[in-house]
Amino acid sequence: MDASDPHIHVTVDLGTETETRNLLSSTFGLVADRPSVVKAGCGRRVPFAMTAQQPEHVTCLPCRDYAAARHQRVAEQLLESRTLTLDPGDLRRAADHHRDLARRYASD
Ligand SMILES: [Zn+2]
């Protein structure tokens, strides 16, 4: 961990772990401890406070590349999973959501 690192990163799981934790705590009243240091998309270990989930807030370029590629891949996987018993409109909307995030990470 580099204390002089001024950049904002993405967590390696792109916030899904936080969403899961929030869901658990609101559903079951559990309050799990948030890790103070997390693995970032660029491979560094960074303080959780130095990560963000909004593309516009992330300033670490390798993290932006990582997040853009990851969201693009999720969008493609959603569109390829048409055999699942999901509404095609829902799939399309979910894919569009990830494509939009990928675009926002890729710009700038
Ligand atoms: Zn980073």
- Reported as a single tens digit per residue, the pLDDT across 92-105 is 898 999 999 999 99
For residue 3, pLDDT beyond 70: no
Alpha-carbon span 101 to 81, nearest angstrom: 20
Residue 88 C-alpha to ligand 1 middle, in angstroms?
Answer: 34
3-state DSSP call for residue 103?
Answer: helix
Residue 81 C-alpha to ligand 1 middle, in angstroms?
Answer: 30
Higher pLDDT, 55 or 2: 55
Residue 40 C-alpha to ligand 1 middle, in angstroms?
Answer: 5
pTM for the structure as a whole:
0.76
The answer to whether 9 and 49 are in contact (CB under 8 A) is no
Return the pLDDT at 27. Answer: 62
For residue 10, pLDDT beyond 90: yes
Residue 31 C-alpha to ligand 1 middle, in angstroms?
Answer: 27
Give tens-digit pLDDT for 13-68: 887 655 566 666 666 666 566 668 999 999 999 999 999 989 999 999 999 999 99
Residue 68 C-alpha to ligand 1 middle, in angstroms?
Answer: 13
